[in-house]
Chain A
Amino acid sequence: MSRPSRIKPALGKDNAWWWEQASQGVLAIQRCSNCKTLRHPPRPMCGECRSLEWDFVKASGKGRICSYTVLHHPRFPGYEYPLIIVLVDLEEGTRFTSQLVGCAPQDVDFDLPVQMVIHEDADGFRLPVFRLAGAA
């Protein structure tokens, strides 16, 4: 029996492209083609100028921890606990919800600099996660 794996995202017209980029190692940020506003999570229309045209930029992966929680219960198959979830203020200006890896729960704190890395599960699923900047 194979190990249970994390829940996979449902893929639709508004988000499949983002997960495709993630599978190629890119943390993408959607950008309005008209007014150039960055937005996350992705949506089909720009809330600033209502343009339907968009492209994306590749995030540097650098950011700081805006908030975090360490999850202990309940424990779902496919995840390792304690599980550190972080809100990261990316240097491009958008915010991203992700996981902090390679860090003991007692070492995480607000405002610490972090760096995105692509994590690959045993089943080949890839997603952007973060490490403390400078950590091995």
Chain B
Amino acid sequence: MPTTLRNEAAIAGIGVTEFTKNSGVSELSLAAQCIKAACDDAGLDPSEVDGLVSYTLDSTDEIEVARAVGTGDLKLFSKINYGGGAAVGTILQAVMAVATGVARHVVCWRAMNGRSGQRMGQGVSGSIISSDLIHWSWYLPYGMLTPGSWIAMVAHRYMRSYGATAEDLGRVAISQRNYAQTNPRSFFYGKPLTMEEYLASKVIAEPLRLYDFCQETDGGCAILVTSRERARDLRQKPAVIRGVVQASTRGQEQMTSFYRDELESLPEMELAARLVYGQSGLGPKDIDAACFYDAFTSEILMQLESFGFCGRGEGKDMVRDGALDIGGRLPNNTHGGLLSEGYIHGMNNIAEGARLIRGTSTNQPKSVHHVLVSSGVGVPTGAMILGHD
């Protein structure tokens, strides 16, 4: 029995549906399609899948997915809470299962009609019936109803304290939009963005503009996790999971951690960094590329600091130096990210992390030994590091 998860498991398959604004099919269909695609990618018959993990926000039940896809007997089924904070958390479930023999082939997925169905950008104004209703009731009466409004409050304080500007956020948006120009899956494929266009875009929630927001997307994305040994038998080059962790810290709320002494940092991301570096035996110097969760541009600046790529308040300096661009110190979201490829709640960022290890990104940097991937910002979250077999 392993006493660490380091190098015990690997991503052996990735599968995505088409990303659109109106899929015309059910979320269950999207889930089945992307899971089948992940199995095909790995060269694995879906009947060999024995574990399924998704998000609590996902509407597709494990057993419905199992019937639709024709999986084998299920030995693990689990859902992770907290929106996009679940992304890497699903992988942790899978890695623990394969490392301990609980399950052999686990698929993690997120399928959503995020534009034509339930829109995240519409916030919680609709029919929320959940145990955290009282939490949201501190904000709804005041009109604070959307993810943009919650993130803006933290971003504003951060920008003021450290002198980050609208142009700095624009640099993040443009960097990722540039990557999207070579990625046909991307919503913004063939649609580059200039700083003039960025600055002229309408203000949604000061200081955030339209292009600081991610896409509302219909689509599915699945990640197949198996043991490192088993991954070698399958079709694709394994992306070995060096470390994978979840993290939530004192004063944590869901999107509204406004009551901590300081608002200018992300304590849960700093914990995720400590844990994932500790588990993997790696540090920021070992990381060559990243897929930081990017529902909003401001989150990128703050995460550069959380994960130790620069000091406090220096995220802006890294983007001014072009560090996130191709050829930079830390190419980030080389598929375009949630901002430009599509918003599949962070699962598509994990897929790009695996592509970067395989060497198949449409913006493949010259040398990638390790990729850092993070989950949602402002919520209980997680992080993982991928490397070569």
Contact = CB atoms under 8 A, between A and B. Distances in A.
Interface of A: 6-12, 14-15, 40-41, 66-74, 76, 78-79, 83, 85, 87, 94-95, 97-99, 105, 110, 125, 127, 129
B134 A10 contact: yes
A7 B263 contact: no
Nearest to B207: A69
Interface string B223-242: 00000000000000000000
Closest 8 CB pairs of A and B: A9-B137, A67-B157, A69-B152, A79-B143, A70-B206, A7-B140, A10-B133, A99-B142
Contact of B202 (A6, A69, A73): A73
Contacts of A14: 134
Contacts of B136: 10
Contacts of B142: 6, 85, 97-99, 127, 129
Contacts of A94: 259
B160 A110 contact: yes
A78 B144 CA distance: 12
Given A10-B137, A73-B202, A105-B206, 8 more contacts: A10-B133, A12-B134, A67-B153, A67-B154, A68-B206, A70-B206, A85-B149, A127-B141
Q: Please classify how large the interface on chain B is, using the bins under 10, 10 to 19, 20 to 34, 35 or more.
A: 20 to 34
Given A9-B137, A67-B154, A97-B142, A74 B121 contact: yes
Given A7-B125, A66-B157, A72 B204 contact: yes
A71 B143 CA distance: 9
A7 B145 contact: yes
B143 A76 contact: yes
Contact of A68 (B143, B153, B259): B153
